[in-house]
Structure 1
């Protein structure tokens, strides 16, 4: 298959698969999700993503219809059915299907969705442009919920302005991006917002921090300000699909470019971990 969709045991193409009208996702966005890169038909950092997925579901009292090990095996088996070398692997669980009612049956079993499609990783050598926006999301950003409208609007605004991401902030404090984490390098130290209710615990960010420790780079997980962001030696943007990008411009103002050697060391370490894990020889495939 070139692209796969799965819902509650049924496999088809995304165009063919039908979802019940009463699935609570339609009325309430009632579910959680996770996503990862598949390389050589192996899901990168699968256990980390499953841990976060089950943690998000538990926080919202959603019953995932299978145990963690079985879900990992299912995702791996589904990935093997899709053509290509590099894939975007997405899965979500909704609370279930029932007539619309704010109150739910606590014994309801969730509905599992999976989507797998070819993916092309962004070249970490190519810098990106960012914009900033006030973070108006709710106060449970640590849960990977399906309610993503603020992130959608922020991403759309960035795209209209020719940028690739939006850096969100609450007052002067930088939190994260619309669909990524943002960290900075300053005077040889890696700084990133701590894992609290204002951000999602980024798995790629966590592994980048581990890479810094291996390289002997000091790490501080503390809130940093917009002023610190603009004055940083390097601005790093990470997500499950893009491990270690860096910014050259924020709101039309040049940033970064002051510590390219340390940036390159981190990028090489992070990419090396991915290549070793998946057995791939290169970050990029041929034309898809």
Structure 2
């Protein structure tokens, strides 16, 4: 297969898959998801992603239809059905199926999986971004499928020829990006927003922090602001699709580029970890 869709035990090419109209995701966006890269049919950091997936569901009282190990076994089975081993693996669970009603539908959730061919960026090409007011709710730490603010911000970035949008809250506090985490290098140290209800605790973010500590680079998980972003020595963007990207323009203004050697050390370390884990 070139791609694959899965829904509650049934699978086929994405274009041939259908789901019930009364899945609660259609009425309320009532579900959570997770996703990550696969290389050579090896799903990277699967334990961390599945743990976060189950935690997101638990925070919203969604009943998982299978165990963590059963999900990991299923995902490993499904990736083998594609023609290429380099894929992006997405999975979500919705609260269930029933007539539209705001109160919960009793029972187990519905499991969705999609697999599409994908390659990981090596992070050598810097990106341009925009800044965007963060209009999201206060459950950003839960990876829900309610992504309208992120969708609109991503579209605004695209319209301006940019790759990502960096969110800020009233007062200028930087939270994260439309579909990534954001960090800065200042005085040779990594600064990243704390994992409170305003950001998603990214898996790539966790790997970045861990590798910086291994490299002897100081890490501070504290709030930082628009002025810090614009004056940073480097601005880094991380996600499960792009482990470490460097920003060179924000809202058309040249930024960063003052710690190129340090960025390269971080970038290479993260990429090497991925390549070694997926051989």
Task: Please state which band the TM-score falls in when normalised by the shorter chain.
Answer: over 0.9
- Could you say what secondary structure the match of 1:262 adopts? helix
Alignment of 1:1-288 (within 5 A): 1-105=1-105, 107-171=106-170, 172-279=172-279
| C-alpha distance in 2 between matches for 1:211 and 1:267 | 10
**Contact map agreement 2:94 2:109 (CA 8 A) in 1:** yes
Q: Structure 1, residues 150-196: CA drift from partner, whole Å, max 9, x if none?
A: 00000000000000000000021000000000001111100000100
1:108 is displaced (CA, Å) by: 1.2
1:84 is displaced (CA, Å) by: 1.3
Q: CA RMSD in A?
A: 0.7
Q: State how many pairs are aligned.
A: 278
Q: Structure 1, residues 240-274: CA drift from partner, whole Å, max 9, x if none?
A: 11000010000000011100000001011101110
1:85 is displaced (CA, Å) by: 3.2
| C-alpha distance in 1 between matches for 2:122 and 2:277 | 19
1:18 is displaced (CA, Å) by: 1.1
| C-alpha distance in 2 between matches for 1:121 and 1:53 | 21
**Contact map agreement 2:204 2:243 (CA 8 A) in 1:** yes
Unaligned runs of 5+ in 2: none
**Contact map agreement 2:131 2:168 (CA 8 A) in 1:** yes
| C-alpha distance in 2 between matches for 1:81 and 1:15 | 16
**TM-score, scaled to structure 1:** 0.95
**Contact map agreement 2:169 2:175 (CA 8 A) in 1:** yes
Q: Structure 1, residues 113-155: CA drift from partner, whole Å, max 9, x if none?
A: 0000000222411000010011010001000000000000000
**Contact map agreement 2:3 2:116 (CA 8 A) in 1:** yes
| C-alpha distance in 1 between matches for 2:23 and 2:159 | 33
**Contact map agreement 2:42 2:85 (CA 8 A) in 1:** no
| C-alpha distance in 1 between matches for 2:261 and 2:35 | 30
| C-alpha distance in 1 between matches for 2:174 and 2:15 | 39
| C-alpha distance in 2 between matches for 1:150 and 1:12 | 31
